[in-house]
Amino acid sequence: MMKTDEKLIIKGKRIDGRKPEDVRKMKMEVGVIPNAEGSALVSFGKTTALASVYGPRPLHPRHLQESDTGLLRYKYDMATFSVDERKRPGPSRREIEISKVSREALEPALFLKKFPRTVVDVFVEILQADGSTRVTAINAASLALADAGVPMRDLVVGLSGGMLDGKIVIDLMGKEDNYCDADIPIAYLPSKKEITLLQMDGRLTPEETKKIVRDVLHASKKVYEKQVEALKKKYSE
Ligand code: ADP
């Protein structure tokens, strides 16, 4: 976490004019890639993620197949042009870690045991990065899985929260992520009331941590509503 002399909250407003508890403007659309079985384009402010899903399909090579369950594969990739200074292509340690925790965040929503010997592939490309990309990616992936018709208990909803200038803020943008005291990305499975991803960068007291988690879960209802709306929109057209 870096330090800055710049105030990131002035008179109760954040640098983009939001109140601490506000989520950025969300855009969500499913079925954007005809060649994929399911797809979704999701943005929170400038952060934009494109997810595509293929499968369930037989897993090759066959020795990787599991006889009692299907597998989920998840690839998170930040496009070279998604940040101001060109990102090196190819998976970094950060992207490999994000791919693993995001796969684990989605698995509890899926009925993979119904599809032994198969694989479901999720590819998420971050087209534009301005903070909270992993949770934006999870929202896109979750919608793309639903769009593909992969049997799911519920959508997984992703949202971040953190502590900035001593205040709890929701949905951190890039600059806030850089200078905040701590940030917590969360993924949540509403129907099971289960947190499926919880990470923390920075330092917080246990009380602060609990309060941020509670506030993020509260604000996540708006994200979930937007997801449902995006899915319904496709099927009402
Ligand atoms: P998340 O995007 O999930 O919050 P991080 O905390 O690792 O994950 O990254 C925070 C933000 O930092 C990203 O959303 C992005 O705006 C920026 N960022 C991450 N990696 C890079 C990079 N290689 N170059 C420039 N900016 C980056």
Question: Does pLDDT of 86 surpass 90?
Answer: yes
Whose Cα sits closest to atom 14 in ligand 1?
131
User: What is the 99 CA–ligand 1 centroid distance (Å)?
Assistant: 14
pLDDT score at 4: 76
3-state secondary structure of 3: coil
Class of domain 17-232: alpha beta
Residue count of the chain? 237
HSE, side-chain direction, 13 A CA sphere, residue 159:
29
Average pLDDT over residues 225-234: 97
Q: What b-and-e string marks burial along 146-175, b requiring 16 or more CB atoms within 10 Å of the CB?
A: bbbebebebbbbbbbbbbbeeebbbbbbbb
pLDDT score at 3: 76
User: What is the 173 CA–ligand 1 centroid distance (Å)?
Assistant: 10
The pTM of the full predicted model, rounded to 2 decimals, is: 0.97
Where do the structural domains in the chain lie, given as residue ranges? 17-232
Ligand 1: residues whose CB is within 6 Å?
A: 83, 87, 94, 129-134, 174, 177, 185, 201
Question: Does pLDDT of 43 surpass 90?
Answer: yes
Whose Cα sits closest to atom 22 in ligand 1?
87
Report which residue type is found at 73. Answer: R
Question: Does pLDDT of 2 surpass 90?
Answer: no
Unique residue bearing structure tokens 């205040």:
167
d(CA 107, CA 192): 13
User: What is the 221 CA–ligand 1 centroid distance (Å)?
Assistant: 25
**Confidence band (pLDDT; 50, 70, 90) for 202?**
very high
Question: Does pLDDT of 237 surpass 80?
Answer: no
Percentage of the residues of the chain whose pLDDT score is greater than 90:
95
Average pLDDT over residues 160-185: 96
User: What is the 92 CA–ligand 1 centroid distance (Å)?
Assistant: 12
Whose Cα sits closest to atom 10 in ligand 1?
131
| Mean of all residue pLDDT scores within the chain | 96
Convert the pLDDT of each residue in 94-147 to its tens digit: 999 999 999 999 999 999 999 999 999 999 999 999 999 999 999 999 999 999
